Amino acid sequence: MNSVSSISSLDADFLRRKSASEGGFGARRLRYTGIDGIKGWVGVKFLFFFYADRYAVVENEYLTLYEDESMKKVVWAGSLHGAQVARGMAGTDIVVCTVDDARHSIRPPVGAFSDWWTVVNQAAALKIEKFYKLCGLLGQGSFSRVRLAKDLQTGQEVAVKIMPRSSLKSDLNVLQRREIAVMRAIDHENIVKLIDVFEGPKRIYFVLEYVRGGMLYDYILRRSEIYEHEVRRIFKQILLAVRVCHEHGIVHRDLKLDNIMCTSQEKDTDIKVTDFGLAGLIDGVRMMHSFVGTPLYMAPELLELKPYDESVDMWSSGVILYGLLTGTFPHRGERTREILESIQTKDYGLLPPSASETLSDDCQSLVYSLLQYNPKKRLSASAALHHPWFLSTNDDFAQGRVSSLKYVLGTDDHDLLVMFPNGKLAKNFHVPPAAPRDSLTAQEKFRASVRSMIAINRMQAMVSVERRKKLRTLFFSAMASQRLLSLATGLSAQRLLQSSQDQQPESSLPS
């Protein structure tokens, strides 16, 4: 199985469950890459003339080979975008060579060859240039850049997230496939929609809904003041998005002001949650263990390396609410290490006295309920939406100013938490100071808040793989050298013995 194009068994099971329980992802079909699929038993060649029976599914743009019809165990899965498709020598096989150099020779059932041939070729012929015109740069991150684009048929503006294939190590690729899966699983007004996915030999393109207002972080920067009733309206939409994610078994794991988009720059803006690149999947039984997220928003159980569930999103939501209400983080410390220690030792304040005097009691109660150190005591998204702060009709606080936000989240020079390939944690790795807000637009601003850190266990896994490869190479090199030395030594000894025998006088030979 080609690891670059593979998805985990949990992800495959997630896809299967959603397809069975809610009509699959075809209910929200991709615009141009969502082709009519096909499925059934096929023969897959493996050793010259031998074939193994596999249950194949071409859904939208992906080919998945399962061990059997139950679709529980994935043998291989990958994109057909840009693949080379040809007929086999006998004319009964479809030979597929993907952009990842994975080669499969598939033999469809008798009489179904033309159907399979048509679907596979449709998927392979999809290229983004045929459907979208790429325009200016909207933003750039560690592993991707986002460009504005225009639909050539409708003229609609979209955002295209572009990720180079050179950065797609196997674990990162699994996260990408998962990001596609979860974004197609959810259709909600407060979540950025995935419109299309294109995959070429060098890049992967995510075509996303274009949200014009920019990040919530920048929205806060532009406001000279904000009111409690405005925060309530924004935060309710965040909780609605989080609730629908959790109902689908999806944990975002990187909720922060940077990953929440505004539909406009006006006071009555709506918001949409985006960036599911670190999303995890839960099924009500299994817990998650990956150490991922942004330090300033990470829950205590993550830092303690304990198994966790969707409650980590509720902690991050609490941090976001705290920031919207006060313009500061609830954690003490100027460096990331100090902040993480503050979270672990419970050394973080809740609401400062100035905010406590201004905010309503219901508002303060919700903040306390979300920033609970014990995840079992934390409110769920559904419970938070039924909190008195949202249900109350008392608008006494509606005109009360929350904060002038002079000390805005992320303007301090915090350390980033970065795991380098050598397995060592980077220290004193500073974010450049934020530029004066008047000189930059929301899209041009360098993100002053702490960026998403690379999952430590994922990096360690990659480091471990590389080390094993090197050790394996050295081991076999040593074996080969030892073998050659043994052969050379044996040959030399044999020649020496033969030479001594040839030089002995005949009288000394035994009779």
pLDDT tens sequence across 263-288: 998 888 999 999 998 888 887 667 88
The distance from CA 226 to its chain's CA centroid, rounded to whole angstroms, is 32
Which one of 93, 171, 254, 309 is the catalytic residue? 254
Could you give the angle at the alpha carbon of 302 between the alpha carbons of 296 and 307, nearest 5°? Answer: 160
Helix/strand/coil for 174 = helix
SS3 assignment for 291-315: CCECHHHCCHHHHCCCCECCHHHHH
Amino acid sitting at position 358: T
- Measured CA to CA, the distance from residue 21 to residue 25 in angstroms comes to 11
Where does a domain end: 162, 179, 209? 209
> So what's the pLDDT on residue 272?
97
- The answer to whether 83 and 97 have CB atoms below 8 angstroms apart is yes
Q: How confident is the model at residue 251 (pLDDT cuts 50, 70, 90)?
A: very high
Residues 243, 332, single domain; the answer is yes
Determine whether the annotation assigns residue 427 to a binding site.
Answer: no
pTM of model > 0.85:
no
In a domain, 506, yes or no: no
Please give the average per-residue pLDDT across 79-88, as a whole number: 85
Residues 225, 199, single domain; the answer is no
Q: How confident is the model at residue 164 (pLDDT cuts 50, 70, 90)?
A: confident
Residues 169, 303, single domain; the answer is no
> So what's the pLDDT on residue 365?
92
In a domain, 511, yes or no: no
Residues 177, 272, single domain; the answer is no
Q: How confident is the model at residue 259 (pLDDT cuts 50, 70, 90)?
A: very high
How crowded is residue 253: how many other Cβ atoms within 10 Å of its Cβ? 26
Alpha-carbon torsion 119, 125, 127, 132, what sign? negative
Helices (H), 150-249: 170-185, 216-222, 228-247
> So what's the pLDDT on residue 414?
36
Residues 172, 253, single domain; the answer is no
Is the per-residue pLDDT at 434 higher than 50? no
Is the per-residue pLDDT at 331 higher than 70? yes
**pLDDT tens per residue, range 209-244:** 999 999 998 888 888 778 888 999 999 999 999 999
What is the extent of the structural domain holding 72?
Answer: 3-124
Where does a domain end: 81, 105, 124? 124
In a domain, 228, yes or no: yes
If you search the block for the tokens 């532009």, which residue do you land on? 222
**pLDDT tens per residue, range 461-506:** 554 555 666 666 666 666 666 665 565 555 555 565 565 555 554 4
Residues 174, 27, single domain; the answer is no
Residues 410, 445, single domain; the answer is yes
- Strongest mean pLDDT among 322-326, 389-393, 495-499, 501-505: 322-326
| CATH code at position 141 | 3.30.200.20
> How many independent structural domains does the chain possess?
4
Partners of 281 in beta bridges: 250
Residues 356, 252, single domain; the answer is yes
The secondary structure element, H or E, covering residue 72 is none
Q: Which of 150-164, 266-280, 333-347 has the lowest mean pLDDT?
A: 333-347
Residue with the larger pLDDT of the pair 414 and 466: 466
Please give the average per-residue pLDDT across 399-424, as a whole number: 38
Q: Which of 77, 56, 72 is nearest to 20 (CA)?
A: 72
Is the per-residue pLDDT at 154 higher than 90? yes
Residue with the larger pLDDT of the pair 87 and 349: 87
In a domain, 10, yes or no: yes
396 assigned to active site: no
- Measured CA to CA, the distance from residue 185 to residue 22 in angstroms comes to 9
- Measured CA to CA, the distance from residue 505 to residue 67 in angstroms comes to 74
Residues 435, 287, single domain; the answer is yes
- Measured CA to CA, the distance from residue 321 to residue 226 in angstroms comes to 13
**pLDDT tens per residue, range 19-77:** 444 444 344 678 888 777 899 999 998 877 889 999 999 876 778 899 999 888 888 88
Strands 250-251 and 260-262: unpaired
In a domain, 298, yes or no: yes
In a domain, 510, yes or no: no
Q: Got the DSSP string for 339-365?
A: HHHHHHTT-B--S-HHHHHHS-HHHHH
Q: How confident is the model at residue 7 (pLDDT cuts 50, 70, 90)?
A: very low
Cα dihedral: 266, 269, 275, 276 (round 10): 170
If you search the block for the tokens 């010259």, which residue do you land on? 48
Mean pLDDT of the chain: 75
Q: How many residues does the chain have?
A: 511
Where does a domain end: 175, 209, 243? 209
